[in-house]
Amino acid sequence: MVRYILRRLLYMTPILFGVSLVIFLLLHLVPGDPARLVAGVDATKEDVEIIRSGLGLDRPLPVQYVSWLGNVFRGDLGRSTRTHRPVTQELRLTIPATVELTLSAIAIAVLIGVGAGITAAVRRNSAFDYSSMIVALLGVCTPSFWLGLMLMLLFAVKLDLFPTTGRDSWENLVLPAVTLGAGAAAIIARVTRSSMLEVLGTDYIRTAHAKGLPTRAVVLRHAVRNALIPVITVVGLEFGYLLAGAVVTETVFAYPGVGRLLVQAIEFRDYPVIQGSLLLLALQFALVNLVVDVLYAFSDPRISYE
Backbone angles phi and psi of 79, in degrees to 5: -125, 135
Percent of the chain with pLDDT over 90: 12
Let me know: does 306 contact 1? Beta carbons within 8 Å.
yes
* Structural domain count of the chain: 1
13 lies in some domain: no
What is the span of the domain harbouring residue 123? Answer: 87-299
Q: Is residue 30's pLDDT more than 80?
A: no
* Average of per-residue pLDDT across 108-135: 90
Contacts of 192 (CB under 8 A, 6+ apart): 113, 114, 116, 117, 118, 121, 227, 231
Q: What is the 3-state secondary structure (H, E, C) of 49-89?
A: HHHHHHHCCCCCHHHHHHHHHHHHHCCCCCECCCCCCEHHH
For the chain, state the CA radius of gyration: 24
H-type helices in the chain, by residue range?
Answer: 2-29, 34-39, 45-55, 61-73, 87-122, 127-141, 144-151, 171-200, 203-210, 215-217, 224-226, 228-252, 258-268, 271-299
14 lies in some domain: no
Report pLDDT for 301: 60
Torsion of CA 89, 289, 231, 182, to 10 degrees: 30
78 lies in some domain: no
Q: Is residue 107's pLDDT more than 90?
A: yes
Domain CATH number, residue 95:
1.10.3720.10
58 lies in some domain: no
Q: Is 245 left (phi over 0), alpha (psi -120 to 50) or beta?
A: alpha
The CA–CA distances, whole Å, from 254 to 97, 157, 173, 251, 261 equal 12, 16, 11, 5, 10
Report pLDDT for 189: 92
Q: What is the pLDDT confidence band of residue 108, given thresholds at 50, 70 and 90?
A: very high
71 lies in some domain: no
Instruction: Please state the length of the chain.
Output: 306
Distance CA 185, CA 109 (A): 4
220 lies in some domain: yes
Average pLDDT, the chain: 84
Q: Is residue 2's pLDDT more than 80?
A: no
11 lies in some domain: no
Report pLDDT for 32: 72
| Residue pLDDT, tens place only, 181-217 | 998 999 999 999 998 888 888 887 888 778 777 878 7
Report pLDDT for 113: 92
| Residue pLDDT, tens place only, 239-292 | 877 877 678 888 888 888 888 888 888 888 888 898 888 888 888 888 888 887
Q: Is residue 225's pLDDT more than 80?
A: no
